[in-house]
Every structure is written in C-alpha cells, then in structure tokens.
Amino acid sequence: MGTELYDLVIVGGGPAGLSAGIYAMRAALNTVLVEKGMPGGQVALTKDVENYPGIEAIGGFELCEKFLNHAKGYGLEMREAEVTSVAPGVDYHEVILGDGTTLHTHAVILAAGGTARKLSIPGETENFGKGVSYCATCDGFFFRNKTVVVIGGGDTALEDALYLSKICARVYLVHRRDEFRGSRILQQRVCAEPRITTVLNSVATDILADAQGVTGVKLKNVQTNAVQQVDADGVFIFVGFLPNNSLIPAGVKMNATGYVVTDEKCETNLPGIFAVGDLRQKYANQIVLAAADGCVAALAAAHYVEGCKAAAVCQRPE
Ligand code: NAP
C-alpha cells in the first residue's frame, strides 16, 4: 500500500474532529479526516440538543449534518477507514490505516471520542440487542407502550429517560445515589413527568431474561441491602463514557481514568499530536466544548505545521 503526505490528519468525525476540519481548511492546511463509521459521533445518537449556543433546539443528527456539510463546504477530504495505529516520528508522524496505507503527516488531531461504559453485570452482554440498549433514540421505538428501566444519574440518563417517557408506558429511573448528577433543569423535568418512577440509592445486580429477551431487572438498595425485582421489557444503560484511547501512542500522557492530558492548545506532551473532545481530560463534556477543542487544536496545529515547514526550508542545503 502507498504512502501519502499531509499537513494534518484528523482521526474521528464527531463535533470535535469536524470542527478541527473546518478550522484546518480555513488555515489552508492539507488535511484529511479519517472516520471508520458514520460521521457525527455520540451526538448523532442524541435526539434533541438544546444547549448549543445560538441554536435553541435541534436534533442531534441534524446538528451533525450541519457540522459535516460545513466542513465539506471548505473541501475537507474525508476518508472512511479504520486507523490501526498512530506512530509518532521526528520529521513526520505516521497514521496507519486498516488497508495498510500509511499517512505521513506533520500534525495529528486525535478526536476518537468515547464509548458507553458497561455495567458488567450478569445478563448485560448476553441480552444486548434483546432488550439491553445503550441508545434511546436508536432503540426506544421498540418499547412503545412497554416498561423500561433506565440506569444512571447523569445528563444522558435524565435526558433519555425523558425521551423514553414519551414512548413507553412506564420508565423506572434507577440511580445509585440519593441525588442525580445531571443538570437541575433535567432533574425538574424528570420530577414533573408522571410516567417516570425514580428509584434512588439502588444498583442493578442482574438483568433477567427468557429466550425472547429481557424480562426484568434485579435491584439492590445500597443503604438497606433490600433486593427487589422490577419487571421490564427493556434496560437502557447510561452510566457514562470511556475514552476511546486505544490509538493513543505510547508516551502520550493520560490520567488515571484514561483521558489524554493536554495543554491549553489541546497538544499532548508529544509535539504535533493533539487530542480533542471526549478523549481529552477536561471539566465537562459538551458539544460546544468539543467544537471549541477542535478549533483550538486546528489553530495550534497550523502554527506547528508552519514551524515544521520553516525548519525544513532552513535545513535545506544552499
Ligand atoms: P456522567 O455524567 O459520567 O454520568 C454517569 C452516571 O452514571 C452518574 O450518575 C454515575 O453515578 C452513574 N454510574 C457510573 N458508573 C455506574 C455504575 N457502575 N453503576 C451505576 N451507576 C453508575 O455520564 P453522562 O450522563 O453520559 O454524561 C457524559 C457527559 O456528557 C457529561 O459531561 C454530561 O454533562 C454531558 N452530556 C450533556 C448533555 C446535555 O447537556 N444536554 C446530554 C448528555 C450528556 P454517580 O453520579 O454516582 O457518579
């Protein structure tokens, strides 16, 4: 397979990667964005986005399409491929694709996002797709007028419990503490929704199923140790995300939970390697922050690439 040369390779096509693509094209960097699946990332799976400044309400998929079209409008090269490794180098970094192609590049922006965290309880893996789901907008439709259990206490769990309450007959929202982590406004909406029953201080210990799929969830109260069984047709698990850090090259600094540590330019401790969005250690994960990361990293990458090229010219023999 061949070798190709770029100023910048962006790995991942969610809001952070696409925003980086927009800014990179505006900075006239020779850029390619590599994405193994459909561009959009986690946001594409979100039903409604109500906190992207300037847009009062928009569907997650629709917002992603806007990012994508904006980037394509600047002529961003998009490549559908799996990146198998990223190898830092001195003159160039290498991004290796599944088909064996090597992309040589001055700068790399890693924007691979995160993946839903699993509960790792009996019945979870076996019943994935048979009542266990990590995406309400993808699977909620299958539970029309049925009973579901939602597990988690963050913004995703609250938002998706509200979404499911419009479809399902009953939603049990199970959280391990006595107060939710998610935003006040979502908590108020959950409290006001008669189809949602909250079950606090409780964890799911088993997902119960028969040959057709999920039949219920066993819950344990963490304060009293009392066990109860909730009959349900589906279980939606929203207990956070894990950063997709498998491509992070050796030597790049990560924190104890696997998020990449960067400076304010989103640059890692390896020059020319940047990390943005849900992959990067920061105070909160929001679409607007992912987009901001993409902007900062692309501007910093442009500066870095300029420096590389200037150095190459200086080193050229007379
Ligand atoms: P999150 O904020 O990390 O919340 C995860 C929730 O799962 C927490 O309530 C946590 O409980 C619970 N949890 C974790 N591990 C668990 C386990 N093993 N068993 C039971 N419960 C467990 O994750 P998220 O809700 O997916 O949100 C991720 C980020 O995206 C956040 O920054 C969030 O603000 C953002 N987001 C924003 C919006 C929005 O603004 N519209 C929508 C979705 C997501 P504890 O609270 O006890 O730790």
Q: Give the SS3 label for residue 135.
A: coil
d(CA 79, CA 250) in angstroms, rounded, equals 25
What value does the CA radius of gyration of the chain take, rounded to a whole number of Å?
Answer: 22
154 CB less than 6 Å from ligand 1?
yes
Beta-strand pair 102-110/273-275: parallel
Let me know: does 204 contact 122? Beta carbons within 8 Å.
no
Q: In what order do the strands lie in the sheet with 234-237?
A: 132-133, 234-237, 147-151, 170-174, 196-199
Whether 139 is catalytic: yes
Residue 79 is encoded by which pair of tokens?
A: 């490549």
Locate CATH 3.50.50.60 in the chain.
3-115+241-310, 118-237
- Beta-carbon contacts of 292 under 8 Å, excluding residues fewer than 6 positions away, are 19
| pTM, full prediction | 0.83
**Catalytic site residue from 91, 99, 138, 178:** 138
Whether 155 is catalytic: no
Going from the Cα of 249 to the center of ligand 1, the distance in angstroms, rounded, reads 27
Going from the Cα of 233 to the center of ligand 1, the distance in angstroms, rounded, reads 23
Q: What is the DSSP letter of 302?
A: H
Q: Which CATH class is domain 118-237?
A: alpha beta
Dihedral sign for Cα 185, 191, 193, 199, please.
positive
Specify the amino acid at residue 311.
Answer: A
Mean pLDDT per 10-residue segment, the chain (318 residues): 86 97 98 94 82 93 96 98 95 94 97 94 95 90 97 96 97 98 97 98 98 97 98 97 94 96 98 97 92 98 95 58
Which of 195, 199, 206 shows the shortest CA–CA distance to 162?
195
Question: What is the per-residue pLDDT for 71?
Answer: 97
Q: Kindly give the number of the ligand 1 atom that is closest to the alpha carbon of 186.
A: 41
Q: Kindly give the number of the ligand 1 atom that is closest to the alpha carbon of 240.
A: 23
Level-2 CATH architecture, domain 3-115+241-310: 3-Layer(bba) Sandwich (3.50)
Whether 135 is catalytic: yes
